[in-house]
Every structure is written in structure tokens, then in C-alpha cells.
Structure 1
């Protein structure tokens, strides 16, 4: 008897199941999510590196006076080669003045002298303005730590 008879007298045939049980896949996905959430912060931690300290000597005979842009603690801009180096400038005035200086001498060095209390974003903003004004490279001025040199 190849077919089995049902109580109703009909032949029954098994149909293939077209549904997939996704519950085990959801469990695996949640476990992977927890693993990635725990391990992701560990991947971005820095490595403790002891950098070498050297006594850097300033240039003995600089070829020419650099353009120095100073940013004080209140975020005001000053230019050492302006008509009045003690007068604060707006960002637009600073860009125009530096562009005029660099038009005459594009190889002139440009340095940023930022107060230690100035937010980092303000210093980066000044550096971008100087680059847009035509500075090929912009350096940051620092001082040697007290007790050294």
C-alpha cells in the first residue's frame, strides 16, 4: 500500500515545509552583537609609548623672519607683521593680511603661536585659514618645558 489512508478516506501527501525557523539565527545574532559591543572599545585604546626626549636646537641663522599668527586665550588673532602687531584682528582680516604677505614671498614660513587655554578647534581653524591664504606649510610654536635648557 503506497499511500496511507486518512481517517476521512483521503490520501495524504506530505508537502515540503516552506518556512524557516529563524529563532536560532536571532540567538546567534544577539550573541555576536554582545561580543562586538564588548570588544569594540578595546580595539581603539592607545598604546602607552614612552617618546624620546631631545634638546632641539633652534635654527641659528633663520633665512628670514617667519609670519607668526598668535591666538590669545580669548580667541583673538594677532599678526607679527601687521601694521600694529599689538592690535587684534578678525579672522577675515588675518586671512587677507597673510595672503598679501605670502603673495610677495610664497616661501615664507608661517607659524601659529596659540595660548595653551585656546580650544584645539580654534587652532585648527586658524591653520586651515592660513592654508587657504596660500601658506604651503603651517608650523606650531612651542616652548621648552621649565627646568630644561
Structure 2
């Protein structure tokens, strides 16, 4: 079993990539997200090319899917079908952990590595680069 890769985005959000597309013949990818209190989280978005299932491991995550607000605790899960606008936030004082499955396996660890490069460039993140990186990997940001 290979060790997972930890990508610390430096904004209160860590990604522990477990299985990449190369590990699953592009059937799915799996990663654990560690979301600290007051973490900077992705903008509301939808996926063009994959579905996502989020499974609660620790703490309480507030997930918004379209207009529905869902609280995920340990053992809870929610299936986010491609095309559905969603985002999440940790509104607690405790660290939250969730396991995410994306299928098919078109989302890779490279997405998070590219985001890290933008965050490490210094100064406020370049919003244009963030948007283009999201789009490159099939995540479409939605501005309300």
C-alpha cells in the first residue's frame, strides 16, 4: 500500500490524497480533506466531468448543495452529482475531516498542487489563475 500524499494548502485546508486516477485505472480518486476552523475553502462550484461523494469522518461540516444546507458529521455522507453547485465551510471551533470520492477519476492530486503553487506565489492569490486552474480540472466556479 502506498502512503498518501499530503498537500497543505496553507490556508487551513489540507488534502491527504489516497488514490489517484493512476491507482484506480481512472475509475475514481479518493482523498481526505482536513478543514481547520476559519479555513479558506473553495468558492461555490460545480463539476463538469465527475460526481463526488463526501463522507464525514470527524467534526461537523456545513455543506451547501444548490439551495440545500446539509450538516455532515462522522458517518454521514452526501452524493454530489456533477452539475450541482456546492461549497462547504467549517463553522465550528474544531477540525473537520471528510473523505471525498470523485468518479470517474479525472480529478488528480495535480489540481491541488497547482493551487498550492498559486498560494505560494506571495501576496493575495491571483483570482484569475485560481479560476483558470479550476476550469482546467473541470471545476466551474459560480459567483453569486
Q: Higher strand share goes to which structure?
A: 2
- Structure of higher RCO (CA pairs closer than 8 Å, 6+ residues apart): 2
| Higher-helix-fraction structure | 1
* Length-normalised TM-score, structure 1: 0.22
Larger Rg: 1 or 2? Answer: 1
